[in-house]
C-alpha cells in the first residue's frame, strides 16, 4: 500500500494532472455510456471538422465567415442530395444483385471443392469437402436471416435515418457558424487554471482535424478511383467493391488484405482464371501502392507518426469499445495518448523545480 500511495502522490500530486485526468474520465464516460445516443452529434462534428477546412481558405481571402459558411454548407447539401438520390440507390441495387447471385456462386464453389479429393486424395477427403460446403451453406443461411430481420426492422431504421438527415445538417451548420461561441461556452465550464489540458488539446486538436480531413478525402479518392478502374475493366459491382476498398483504408495494413478476397472472388466467378482476372488484381495492387506511397503520405503528412504496432493496438482497443467510430478515430485517439504521455513528465519536472526553489 505504501508503494501505491507514493505512486499516486508522485503522479497526482499536481492539480494540473488531476484536472486533465478528470476531463479525460468524464469525456470517456460520456462517449462510452452515451455514445449510441450521441451518434448524430459525433457525425456532425466530423463533418464540421471536414467542412471547416474549406471555410478557412475562404476566410483567408477576406470572405466574411457567415458567407463562407453558407457557401460551403450549400455545397455540402448538394453532395448529400447526390448521395441520397443517386449513390445510395446504386449501392443498394448492386448489393441486391450480389445477394441474388450468391446461390450460383455457391454452386460453382461447390463444384470446385468437389474436384479437390480427385486431384489431391492424400490431402483432402470427400467428407472434409462436404463439411466445408455445409459450413458455407450455414453461413449463407445466417446472412439471409440477418438480411430478413433487417428488412423487418427497416421501418424503424428508415424513421431514424430521416430524423438523422434533418438533425445532422442542422448541427453541422451551427457548428460551423457558431464555432467560436460554442468553444467559449464549453471552456466556461472548465477550471481556469488548466494549462496542461490546454497544452494537450492544442497538441492534439490540429492532429485530429488533419486526420479527419485527410482520411475522409483518402476514402473518397480511393473509392472513386477504384470504382472507375473496375468499371473500365467491366467488373461487376464496381461501385460496391470500390466503396469497400475506400472503407478499407480505415484499417491500415489489414484492410487492404481483407478487401482483396471479395474482389478476387467476384472477378473469378465472372471470368475464371482468365487475363481479365489477372488485370483486376494487378490494377487493385497498383491502386493500393499509389494509396500507400503517395496519397496517404500526402494527405496525412501532418499527422503524428505512430509505430505500426501502436496503430494496430489502437484499432483493436478503440474499435472494440466504439465500433466504427472507434476504428475511424483510432489514430487520433492514439495521438491523444501519445500527447498525454509526452506532457506527463514535463509536469513532474516542473513540480520538482518548484519544490527545489
Q: Per residue in 147-165, pLDDT tens? A: 655 554 555 566 777 778 8
Is the per-residue pLDDT at 284 higher than 90?
A: yes
- 328, pLDDT greater than 90: no
pLDDT digits (tens, 9 = 90+) for 233-267: 999 999 999 999 998 888 876 788 888 988 988 99
According to the model, what pLDDT value does residue 11 have?
56
Q: Which residue has the higher pLDDT, 146 or 179?
A: 179
pLDDT per residue as tens digits for the range 3-49: 666 555 555 556 777 777 787 788 888 877 877 788 888 889 888 98
Q: Is the pLDDT assigned to residue 2 strictly greater than 80?
A: no
* Domain ranges (residues) in the chain: 41-189
Would you say the C-alpha torsion 348, 350, 353, 357 has a positive or negative sign?
A: negative
Q: Mean pLDDT throughout 53-64? A: 90
The pLDDT confidence band at residue 347, using thresholds 50, 70 and 90, is: very low
92 or 19: which carries more pLDDT confidence? 92
Other CB atoms within a 10 A radius of the CB of residue 116 amount to 16
Q: What is the mean pLDDT of the chain?
A: 80
**pTM of the predicted model as reported, rounded to 2 decimal places:** 0.75
User: Over 70: is that where the pLDDT of 350 sits?
Assistant: no
pLDDT number for residue 234: 93
List the single range of 3-7, 19-23, 280-284, 298-302 with lowest mean pLDDT: 3-7
pLDDT of residue 8: 55
Residue 74 has pLDDT above 90, yes or no: yes
Per-residue pLDDT band at 301 (split at 50, 70, 90): low
Residues in the chain: 357
Residue 152: predicted pLDDT: 47
Flag whether pLDDT at 269 surpasses 90.
no
The enclosing H or E element of 330 equals helix 330-356
Torsion angle of C-alpha atoms 277, 282, 285, 291, degrees rounded to 10? -120
Sorted by sequence, the CB contacts under 8 Å of residue 19 that are 6+ apart come out as: 190, 191, 193, 194, 196, 197
Give the pLDDT score at 287.
Answer: 92
- Does pLDDT of 77 surpass 90? yes
pLDDT for res 293: 83
- Centre a 10 Å sphere on the Cβ of residue 337 and count the other Cβ atoms it contains: 16
Name which of 295, 318, 315, 293 is nearest 306 in CA terms.
315
CA atoms within 13 A on the CB side of 64: 3
pLDDT band at 212 (very low <50, low <70, confident <90, very high): confident
Q: Give the mean model confidence (pLDDT) for residues 82-107.
A: 84
Amino acid at each position: 500500500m505504501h508503494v501505491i500511495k507514493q505512486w499516486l502522490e508522485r503522479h497526482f500530486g499536481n492539480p494540473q494532472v488531476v484536472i486533465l485526468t478528470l476531463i479525460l474520465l468524464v469525456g470517456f464516460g460520456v462517449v462510452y455510456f452515451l455514445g449510441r445516443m450521441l451518434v448524430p452529434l459525433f457525425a456532425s462534428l466530423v463533418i464540421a471538422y471536414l467542412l471547416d477546412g474549406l471555410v478557412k481558405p475562404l476566410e483567408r481571402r477576406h470572405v466574411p465567415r457567415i458567407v463562407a459558411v453558407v457557401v460551403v454548407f450549400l455545397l455540402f447539401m448538394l453532395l448529400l442530395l447526390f448521395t441520397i438520390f443517386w449513390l445510395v440507390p446504386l449501392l443498394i441495387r448492386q448489393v441486391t444483385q450480389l445477394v441474388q447471385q450468391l446461390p450460383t456462386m455457391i454452386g460453382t464453389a461447390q463444384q470446385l471443392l468437389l474436384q479437390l479429393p480427385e486431384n489431391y486424395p492424400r490431402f483432402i477427403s470427400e467428407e472434409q469437402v462436404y463439411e466445408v460446403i455445409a459450413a458455407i451453406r450455414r453461413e449463407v443461411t445466417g446472412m439471409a436471416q440477418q438480411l430478413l430481420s433487417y428488412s423487418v426492422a427497416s421501418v424503424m431504421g428508415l424513421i431514424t435515418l430521416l430524423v438523422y438527415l434533418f438533425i445532422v445538417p442542422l448541427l453541422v451548420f451551427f457548428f460551423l457558424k457558431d464555432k467560436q461561441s460554442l468553444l467559449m461556452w464549453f471552456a466556461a465550464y472548465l477550471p481556469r487554471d488548466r494549462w496542461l489540458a490546454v497544452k494537450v488539446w492544442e497538441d492534439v486538436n490540429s492532429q485530429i482535424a488533419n486526420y479527419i480531413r485527410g482520411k475522409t478525402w483518402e476514402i473518397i479518392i480511393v473509392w472513386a478511383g477504384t470504382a472507375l478502374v473496375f468499371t473500365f475493366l467491366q467488373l461487376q459491382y464496381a461501385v460496391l467493391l470500390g466503396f469497400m476498398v475506400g472503407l478499407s483504408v480505415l484499417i491500415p495494413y489489414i484492410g487492404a488484405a481483407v478487401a482483396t478476397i471479395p474482389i478476387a472472388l467476384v472477378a473469378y466467378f465472372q471470368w475464371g482464371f482468365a487475363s481479365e482476372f489477372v488485370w483486376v488484381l494487378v490494377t487493385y495492387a497498383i491502386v493500393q501502392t499509389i494509396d500507400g506511397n503517395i496519397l496517404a503520405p500526402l494527405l496525412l503528412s501532418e499527422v503524428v507518426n505512430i509505430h505500426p504496432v501502436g496503430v494496430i493496438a489502437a484499432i483493436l482497443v478503440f474499435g472494440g469499445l466504439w465500433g466504427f467510430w472507434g476504428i475511424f478515430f483510432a489514430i487520433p485517439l492514439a495521438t491523444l495518448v501519445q500527447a498525454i504521455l509526452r506532457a506527463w513528465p514535463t509536469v513532474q519536472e516542473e513540480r520538482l523545480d518548484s519544490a527545489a526553489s
